[in-house]
Every structure is written in structure tokens, then in C-alpha cells.
Structure 1
Amino acid sequence: MITSSKLKSVDFYRKIPRDLTEASISGAGLSIIAALAMMFLFGMELNNYLTVNTSTSVVVDRSTDAEFLRIDFNISFPALSCEFASVDVSDILGTNRLNITKTVRKFSIDPNLRPTGSEFHSGPIPMVNNHGDEIEEEHTDESVSLTSSNFENYSHKHAILVVNFFAPWCYWSNRLKPSWERTAKTMRERYDPEMDGRILLGKVDCTQDSDLCRRHHIQGYPSIRIFRKGNDVRDNHGHHEHESYYGERDTESLVAAMETLVASIPEETHTLALEDKSNKPGDASKRPAPLTSGCRIEGFVRVKKVPGNLVVSAHSGAHSFDASLINVSHVISHFSFGKRLSSKAWTELKRLTPYLGASHDRLTGRSYIINRDETNANVTIEHYLQVVKTELVSQKRYQEFKLLEDYEYTAHSSLVHSLDVPVAKFHFEPSPMQVLVSEVPKSFSHFITNVCAIIGGVFTVAGIVDSILHNTMRLVKKVELGKHI
């Protein structure tokens, strides 16, 4: 059996009786300094233990989010009408999607980028199958030629004014002309403009009266507008309510559409008193015409993780565009790749990796405005985007947890003169590599070891310094005593 005396023999910390020790002023001061040093170093070590350390490496993209990449955007085009604005996607694998509408919304805006109404429902890209009639005989001009000087007079005189805005050089306008004139003749015979006056068909040559066409935001030829006379003149600052016609363009279809318009108007009056019953949300042949020539496009698209293009342009399968008049100037409010991070995720990202996130939305707030003149006509704006994925993971108990992921990109923009209709093109190229940021866990045992080293080291160094001071003072006293003797 081990006795207490044998147990005491292994004591590393043998005690010296208190009455055999001697306290000193220098020792007290040094003890206070040592205690403060221990507290300071302990605080620094604790802060270092609580601070997250990360390691960054570049690896082959090992994404788990399938083969598709989401692109979010909010872009304002002050000079591109929502009527023909189309969001298209293509890639090097042959994918080619035109006029994406399911996940894209459009809002008419004024030149100052302010919204002018509710969401603009443009429907599919205008496309007609029966377009015009074959010219069998020389036809006469039956529709009324309208200009800036007489347009308002005719629009106030007739309950419905249907206008064909055209250009003589336009292929589609020339195909429409025979049908339009025959339809005008038929409607004139059935509804005499002088005796009945409920409907009149007119036409505007946009090469002769560009100001009138610009005032009604005409960007594609031919554009058929339906103007109605009613209370909107008083409530909408003198402007008439109007729609765009996108139906078939042969004589039979046009006459049927005109008859539908007239059917809603009482014969005994020349003013619009009833709403056109054919103008239902499901009527694809007629939709509200844009109130302004600007458009804000927002939403998202999903693309494959291969080099491709997102293009915003004026597009139609049954209209012509004057390339010199199309202006794709735009202001980017948002353009990013991948899932949109929540505010909590952004806070976590900044806490772990403060240097990340700066390139998540690099194009935000940038403007690309083209001042129209002869030297700036037919200008396409191209953006070249190099996309790199960053993944942040945490390692705890030998397991790896993905905290969040973010896509960052670099952007280079340029202006290109082209003979084609100008577009705004975003060429994106995802990188096959990704940046992997790993959270490096810290060992608690390492923290305790460092704390012990701090306490023991400071205590030992302070003891050495105290011993040196004490022996030095004793030596000084001995020398003084020797001199006196």
C-alpha cells in the first residue's frame, strides 16, 4: 500500500514555507506586467482560434447542379419597343430558342426609364401564314393617305381608324398592299365614310412622314394600328387608345377583322360607346400597342453550361426593320449567373471570404448609350463574359458540407458596326474549372497547447527577469557596502 510520504515524493511542485519567501516592489511590478501580458496574448490566441481560416484551390468543375445554368437579368432599353423586343438564346451545341416569354416580363418605359403602365403582354413573335393576295389586276388606292396634318382630323371624325404604317422598300408591306386596298374598298362600300362613318382604313408612308411614325412608336413595317375614339381622349391627355393587329393579312381575314370591330359600334352614332368585345385576352390577332418606344426586360433563362449567347433584338417573322433606326442602347440594373443568394447567404459569404462577391453582378449600374447620328447607325453592343463558379465548403469531423455557391464573371464590352439589324448580345463562356474555397477547421487541442505555452512562457520569462533584477540589486548593495568599509 502506497503511503502518503511516498506519494509526496513525486510532487513536482514542492512548496516553500511562506515565511521563508521575500516579497519585493520590483517583483510585484513585474508580476503585474506578466499578468497583463498573459491576458493580452490569451486574447489574441482566442481571437485567432475563433477566426475562420480558408484555403483556396482551383479544381475541375464538379458541380452538382446538373448541366444547366440560370441567368437573371433586368435591362432597360429606352429606344427599343416592347412590341418587337425578343429575348433569344443559342449555344455551340445547336440550341436556338427565340422570343422566350415564359420566364421573361416586359414593361413599357419612357426615355427616362420610368414605367408608363402595367406589364406589356406581347405574346409570341408576330407571324402570319396567309400574307396578302396575289396581284391579279391593277388596283387603285382605296385607303386614305394620312399625314401629320390630317391624322388627328380623321381620328376624331371616325369611331374606328385602322392605319397601315408601311415603307415602300419593305417586302412585307408590298405583299400586304393589294389585300389592304381591297379591304379598304370593301369597307368603304359597306360603311360609307360620309353617311356611316364608323370605320375608315388609312395608310402612312413612314419614309415620307417619319415624325408621325415615330410619334406612334413604329419600329417594324408594316404595322397595323387600330385607333378608337372615345373617353380615352379626355382621360389620356388627348391620346387615343389603340391596338396592334397581328392576324392574317389576306383580304378575307382583314375584312372579317374589320367587321368584328364595326359590330361593337351602334350604327346611329359616330362615336365609340361600347368596348370592342373581340378584344379579349385570348385574342391573338389584336393586342394593345406600346405606349412608348422604350422597354424594360426582366426575368431569367436557363442555358446549358457551354459557350453561348443571350441576345435581345427586334424580331418578327412578318415585319421588316430599318436597321439604321434601331437603337439598342441599354442600362443594366442586374445581370448575374446562378441562383440568387439570399441576404443571409451574402452575409455568410462576406464573413468567410470577404474578397468574393465583387464580381457576382459586375455589370450592375452600367449604361451603354448610343447617341444616334450618321456615324452611330447600325451599332450592335456586345458583352463578352467569362464565368467562373466558386464553391464554399466546410470540413467538420472528417465530413464535407457545401455551404453555398456563387458564379462570378469578368465582362468586356464593345460596339460593332453591322449591316444587319442591331442587337444587344451577351456572349457567355463558362469555365471548365471552378474555385474551391474550403473552411479549414482549427484544433481545440492546439488552442489549449498554445494557451499553456503562453502562460508557462510568460511566467518563466518573468521569473528569469525578476531573478536578474534581484541579483543585480543585491550586487549593487554589496558594492556600496564595500565602499563604505
Structure 2
Amino acid sequence: MDGLLSKLRSLDAYPKVNEDFYSRTLSGGIITIASSVVMLLLFVSELRLYLHAVTETTLRVDTSRGEKLRINTLVDIYLCLMPKMQFDVAFPALQCSIISLDAMDISGQEHLDVKHDIFKQRIDAHGNVIATRQDAVGGMKMEKPLQHHGGRLEHNETYCGSCYGAQESDDQCCNSCEDVREAYRKKGWGVSNPDSIDQCKREGFLQSIKDEEGEGCNIYGFIEVNKVAGNFHFAPGKSFQQSNVHVHDLLPFQKDSFNVSHKINKLSFGEYFPGVVNPLDRAYWVQHSSYGMYQYFIKVVPTVYTDINGHIILSNQFSVTEHFRSSESGRIQALPGVFFFYDLSPIKVTFTEQHVSFLHFLTNVCAIVGGVFTVSGIIDSFVYHGQRAIKKKMEIGKFN
């Protein structure tokens, strides 16, 4: 047994030195305190990393198919008279009653004059909300309009308004100005003079537009589109297809110019997740020419975020470039409006929250203690031997 213990004693990598041979110095004490403080700070930093989740980022090819893309929008359109804004924005002819939202993609699917989950707020020159509901935009409807075959509607009659040649069948009725405009849109026609349409005249279509002069409009909500390249845009007038070309009917508004100055409070593609940055949030632009089309070209990057509890958030990030097309020599070269052209990246970004393992934490703590102890020992040895060398030279008279 004594021989075994003797062999184990010979393997001791930490030989002990008698305290009588220790030489304690002032510099050693200072270095010890400094190294202890450094060790404590590094330990606290490592402990915080261990207690908080870290995010691991990976890239892979997006192989998902047939998914929907949700676009959340909150776009403000203001007049330059608004004192609360930090910029001047003019919209003399783009009130809530004339703005429409369209969405389309390369698959051929179109959503024209989107109203579902889209809300408009009429805003006066001082920024106060006048009306919020979609059906609150526009004029009052008149009683006793013209019937389809002439004459006035009585209380005991069933009203069927004329579509003015745009009806698809003899029994189709257009009981409001909106019905007539929708029937014209489906035919690919433009409404040149709303006052020539009894429904529009009695509902005060043109008068309602004049009454909204000097107002701004706030549009917010969300739309869902196919996960393919496409665009959505805000523009005046109803849209329709004419010779396979997407056009907007601007004649009813009798305007010489349209100003599409705008501010984007928020624009995102999908749900919020920690760390997401939407580059168009709080972006604004002011138009100085009579006509113009403002275009945003967006590259959408599919993103999956998994938090520490395993909850998965399917969302998107995006980058954007901007371009403005103006009129030349008084001729309209582009449809006035704000267009967002988006395309999807084939690469998917995955963020995963996870905790550092305890063994990794323990390894880092040992590395901190051992590393600081070793470095401080080297510094102390250098200072100690330096002091002894200087003291020895002073004793032999080399330093005066």
C-alpha cells in the first residue's frame, strides 16, 4: 500500500512549496486584484450568454410550394398642409374616394379594387380622422332614383336601375353609381361623364369628390397573394383590362394632374419576429411633377424563426430599391400611383433560438480562469524579475 501511495504521489502535477519560501510583493497583490476583477467580469459575461438564448442562422434552398404570402400594409397619404408631419406631401386630387388597391401576379390572378380587410381613413388638413369605414367614403344616396325602364321608384315598386349598355343580360340591374362603374369596368369601358348617369348624379359622385378636396387618406390592412412574383399598387380610379393592358379609368374625376406623394408607416411581408427590420417603415416621398409613378422593387426572402420554446414563425424579410417615372412634355408616360413589385428569393433563412449547453459554459469558465491566471502569472513574473534586476543594479552602483 505504501508503495502504491508513493507512486501516486510521484504523479502530482501540482508540487507544493513551503510557505517559508514564498515572497509576496506589492506588485503581485495589485496584479492579483486586477486579474480577479477581469475574471469576475468575464465570468459574468459568460453567465449572461449561458442564461440567454442565442440565435443560430442557416441558409437553405426554399422548396415549399403553393403557399400564400401575406402583405401587411399601413400607408399614409397626406396633404402638405398637415403641420404634424416632418415633410410636405400634396394630394390635391387623390382623396379616399378615388384611391383603389389592386393586386396581381405572374400566374394571371388579379384582385381589382380590393376592399376586403382594407380600411381607409379620411384625414383633414389638421390630421384629424373624418371617417374610417369603407362605406363612409362618398356621398349620400338619393331616394327615388330612376328605374331601368324609366320613371321614378315608388315605395311599393322593385327598383332595377339601368346599366347604360354595360349589362351582361337583360335582367341585370345597376342600382347605384358603384354598380354602373363596376359594369363598365367589366366591359373595359371608361365612365367619361358621371353626371350623365342618373345613379351617379343623384348620389352626388362628383360633388363628393369636390367635398373631399383638401383631404388626405390613410389606407391600412392586409392582403394575401400567391407565393409568386407580382405587384400591388395604389392608384386613382377603377382598373380594368383593355387590349390585355391594365389601365385605370381617370376620366370621371376630371383632374389635370395626380400627385402620388406618400408616407409608408409600415410595410411587412408576414408576421413579426424578433430582430426583423422592414426597410420601408416610416419611408416617405414627395412628388414635384404633375404626373408620376413611384415604384418599389422588392426582393422577398422567406424566413423561418423558431424561438426557445419551439414556436415556429413563418415570415419574410425583404430588401428594396426605388424608382420614379415622371411625365415628359406634358404627356402621361406612366399610370400615376404607387407600385410595389415583389419577387421571391429561392433561398430561405432560418433563425433558431437555443441555449448554450452547460458543458460548453463550464469549458468557457475554466478557460477564463486558467487563461487569466496564466497571463497574470506571466505579468507578475516579468514585473518581479524586472524589479529585482533594477534593484540589483542599483546596489552595485550602475544606477545613480
Query: TM-score range with shorter-chain normalisation?
Result: 0.5 to 0.7
> Does the CA contact (< 8 Å) of 1:80 and 1:328 recur in 2?
yes
Equivalent runs, 1:11-410 vs 2, <5 Å = 11-18=12-19, 20-21=20-21, 23-24=23-24, 27-44=25-42, 46-47=44-45, 50-51=48-49, 58-61=59-62, 66-76=67-77, 78=91, 79-111=93-125, 113-121=127-135, 130-132=162-164, 172=191, 177=196, 223-225=200-202, 244=205, 291-293=211-213, 294=215, 295-313=217-235, 314-315=237-238, 320-321=251-252, 324-341=255-272, 348-349=274-275, 357=277, 360-362=278-280, 364-370=282-288, 376=290, 378-392=291-305, 405-410=315-320
Task: Spell out, residue by residue over 1:234-268, the C-alpha distance to the aligned partner (whole angstroms, 9 max, x if none).
Answer: xxxxxxxxx559xxxxxxxxxxxxxxxxxxxxxxx
Moved more, 36-45 or 435-444: 435-444
> Does the CA contact (< 8 Å) of 2:260 and 2:336 recur in 1?
no
Aligned match of 2:385? 468
Task: Please give the alpha-carbon distance, in whole angstroms, between the structure 2 residues aligned to 1:299 and 1:90.
Answer: 17
Task: Please give the alpha-carbon distance, in whole angstroms, between the structure 2 residues aligned to 1:16 and 1:420.
Answer: 89
> Does the CA contact (< 8 Å) of 1:82 and 1:120 recur in 2?
no
Task: Count how many residue pairs are aligned between Structure 1 and Structure 2.
Answer: 319
> Does the CA contact (< 8 Å) of 2:66 and 2:227 recur in 1?
no
> Does the CA contact (< 8 Å) of 1:87 and 1:311 recur in 2?
yes
**Letter paired with 2:226:** K
> Does the CA contact (< 8 Å) of 2:229 and 2:343 recur in 1?
yes
Task: Spell out, residue by residue over 1:279-309, the C-alpha distance to the aligned partner (whole angstroms, 9 max, x if none).
Answer: xxxxxxxx98784144322211111222211
Structure 2, unaligned stretches of length 5 or more? 79-90, 142-159, 166-188, 241-248
Which residue, 455, 458, 466 being the options, matches 2:375? 458
Distance 1:131 1:420, change over 3 A: farther
Aligned match of 2:177? none
Structure 1, unaligned stretches of length 5 or more? 134-169, 181-221, 227-242, 246-286, 350-355, 481-485
Deviation at 1:58, TM superposition (A): 4.3
Deviation at 1:92, TM superposition (A): 0.4
**Letter paired with 1:304:** N
> Does the CA contact (< 8 Å) of 2:326 and 2:334 recur in 1?
no
Which residue, 406, 412, 433 being the options, matches 2:322? 412
Task: Please give the alpha-carbon distance, in whole angstroms, between the structure 2 residues aligned to 1:40 and 1:73.
Answer: 49
> Does the CA contact (< 8 Å) of 1:322 and 1:421 recur in 2?
no
Distance 1:225 1:367, change over 3 A: farther
The structure whose Rg is larger is: 1
**Letter paired with 2:29:** S
Superposition TM-score, scaled by structure 2 size: 0.62
SS in 2 for 1:299: strand
Which residue, 320, 344, 355 being the options, matches 1:430? 344
Task: Please give the alpha-carbon distance, in whole angstroms, between the structure 2 residues aligned to 1:331 and 1:174.
Answer: 29
Superposition TM-score, scaled by structure 1 size: 0.52
Task: Spell out, residue by residue over 1:332-354, the C-alpha distance to the aligned partner (whole angstroms, 9 max, x if none).
Answer: 2324122353xxx5xx42xxxxx
